[in-house]
Amino acid sequence: MRLKYFLKKYILTPLVRSIRMKLFVLTLTVAIVPLMVAAVISRQNSQDAMEQEILTQNESKMEWVNREFYGNVERIDESLTAFFFDNNVQFYTSKVDQNDSWQKEGIQFFRTKLKAYLFANFRDFITVRYYSFESNKVFSASYEQDFLINEISDDEFKTNQLFKNEGGLLYNIKEKEKGQVIEGPYLTKIYRRFDNQEVISALVVKLNWNLFERAAGLLNTEKNSREFFLDGEGKIIYETHKGLERDNSDEIYEYVKESDEGGYLIINDEYVFHRRLSEELYLVKTIPTSIATEFYRKTMSSQLVIILLTGIIIIGIILFFGAQLMKPIRSLTKSMQNIDDLLVSDALPETIAKTNDEIKVLEQSYRFMIDKIRNLIDKEYKQRIEIQSAQLMALQAQINPHFMYNTLQMIGAMAVEKEAMEIYEIIGAFSKMMRYNMQLTEELVTVEQELANVEQYLQIQKKRFDKKLIVYIHVPENTKQILMPKLSIQPIVENCFKYGFVRTEREWIIDVRIWQDTGDLYVSVKDNGQGITAGRLLEVQRNLIGDEEAPFYKNENLGLKNIDARIKMYFGRTYGLKVESEEGQYTTITMIMKATKKKEEA
């Protein structure tokens, strides 16, 4: 009875009456059931998939190691071939059995040549031997015995196992030398006479076992795996795990010798991967079949843990959001329905007031707010542009232009009449500056026009300061027709005299440079004046990146902030001024603008 009462009160009744509980059950079913179905399917297929993955990976590794092994063999073989490219080798081979002088010189040559060749290939070679069948001598260099010379018999080429099959890679060659048995591997290169193919000499190197060790090491990736090489007689010539209890190499050899290339098979609960590297060399890797079961169990354990954690997380999320979701939605809907009171003007669309769908109300109200915000942004942006343009026009029109220009023309005429040509030149330069400033309709001018105005200003300053002032202007031809804000360079040059050269006794240098880079125009004005203190420089830089409501200062001149604001207004906020300075050394102000020419204007 108690169980029935509990189920009815806490499960059945809430499930029938509560939307939250219905949402909880539905979401839980949708989330958990697919996971359970996937787990069942995965249980049936994962072991086969894991086995197939192990087989595919190891077959790929065997092929890779095959290429890697013979890539190294070919590299060493090419090194042996290159040994004979030295003309001195054949020269001293023919001279070493002549008089004492030639013999001594030849021995010294081979001592140097073989030792250098050995040390150059120290990673691969243990011993290097050069057989001269014409002089019946063998020259040998090794790390243990340095350099040796021995006599060989006339039939050395036929009797020595190192020349079995006339060269190539040999394994497990046992050679008696000074009472000791030395095992391979060896690599041999035969050199024959061109005209009659008579064997003249041979180069033999004893290789390090690391050639096989590296190949086997690339395969040793699974626990309890075994990697080894078999020769043409089924004997193991190298293996990674010696002394293992299982040793079924003979049985494995009976299977692998019938294969032309390679593959895999199962022998005594082991996967056996094999690859024929040559007629007398096989690469074999064995893995216990139990490794697939271990991977399978680990995978299943991980899947069960993931399903359990996912179920717990989903239940927690549903319980939390189910309790909190509806109340905020109702509250938000009421607020959105009253949004017209907040925005004052423009009532909400009638469709919002007529619907009872809370989500639909939210959607329509959101769209209405977006449209309202977009309209306000457009109005604000246009208003700021109009204010900025009006301020710029006001700055340019502070002086009565026609009265000033006519007065300067009259003074210039009087200077010519009195033969005061220097005064006339200054008046002429100043008149051209005033005419340039009076052109209020032009907001953007070419670099060439702006520089012409700067040169008029500098002409006046040169008359004023005589030889103390040095000016450099560098402007490429391809930048002269690029547009820039009017009256932007001259105020910066003027600041050099106003602030930079104050209390400076050395020559005054102004360097104006203009260049174009990746679609942007750069204008740099540098002086060698007193510079800016670190604190003041930081203040100027912060002022330039500030976001003041009014883009211009309320003064009579165009300051740095005014120029920076106009550049941003015309080209965007990513452009503007950059100020660099070192106190007592220099000040550099760089304008960065988008490179736009007149022909691009619409």
| Boundaries of every domain in the chain | 84-208, 342-394, 442-600
**Confidence tier at 218 by pLDDT (50, 70, 90):** confident
Mean pLDDT of the chain: 76
Q: What is the pLDDT of residue 451?
A: 92
Residue with more model confidence, 421 or 74: 74
23 contacts: CB under 8 Å, gap ≥ 6: 318, 322
pLDDT tens digits, one per residue of 84-127: 888 888 788 777 777 777 888 888 888 888 888 888 888 888 88
What pLDDT score does 398 carry? 47
Q: With a cut of 60, say whether residue 359 has pLDDT above it.
A: no
pLDDT confidence of 145, banded at 50, 70, 90?
confident
C-alpha 490/C-alpha 436 separation (Å) is 12
Give the rounded percent of residues in the chain with a pLDDT score beyond 90. Answer: 9
464-479: pLDDT as tens digits: 777 788 999 999 999 9
Q: What is the DSSP string of 34-82?
A: HHHHHHHHHHHHHHHHHHHHHHHHHHHHHHHHHHHHHHHHHHHHHHHHH
pLDDT over threshold 60, residue 346 = no
Look at residue 550 in the predicted model and tell me its pLDDT: 40
The span from the CA of 412 to the CA of 424, in Å, is 5
Nearest Cα to 229, choosing from 171, 167, 168, 173? 171
Q: What is the pLDDT of residue 578?
A: 93
Please check the confidence at residue 394 and state whether its pLDDT lies above 60.
no
Candidates 3.90.1570, 1.10.1760, 3.90.550, 3.30.450; CATH matching 84-208:
3.30.450
State the pLDDT confidence band at 347, using cuts at 50, 70 and 90.
very low
Round to whole Å and give the CA distance between 142 and 384.
Answer: 87
Query: CB–CB of 265/287 below 8 Å?
Result: no
Mean pLDDT of 174-196: 69
Residue 502 to residue 386: CA distance in whole angstroms: 38
Q: Do domains 84-208 and 442-600 have the same CATH topology?
A: no
Residue 417: per-residue pLDDT: 63
Q: CA 399, CA 419: separation in Å to the nearest integer?
A: 29
pLDDT of residue 448: 92
> In terms of Cα–Cα distance, which of 447, 449, 412, 410 is closest to 433?
449
Higher pLDDT, 480 or 197: 480
Residue 271 confidence class, pLDDT cut points 50, 70, 90: confident
The overall longest dimension of the chain from CA atoms, in Å, is: 127
CA distance 268 to 247: 11
The fold of 442-600 is Heat Shock Protein 90 (3.30.565)
Q: Find out whether the peptide bond into 551 is cis, omega within 30 degrees of 0.
A: no
**pLDDT value at position 212?**
81
Which pLDDT does position 110 carry in this prediction? 86
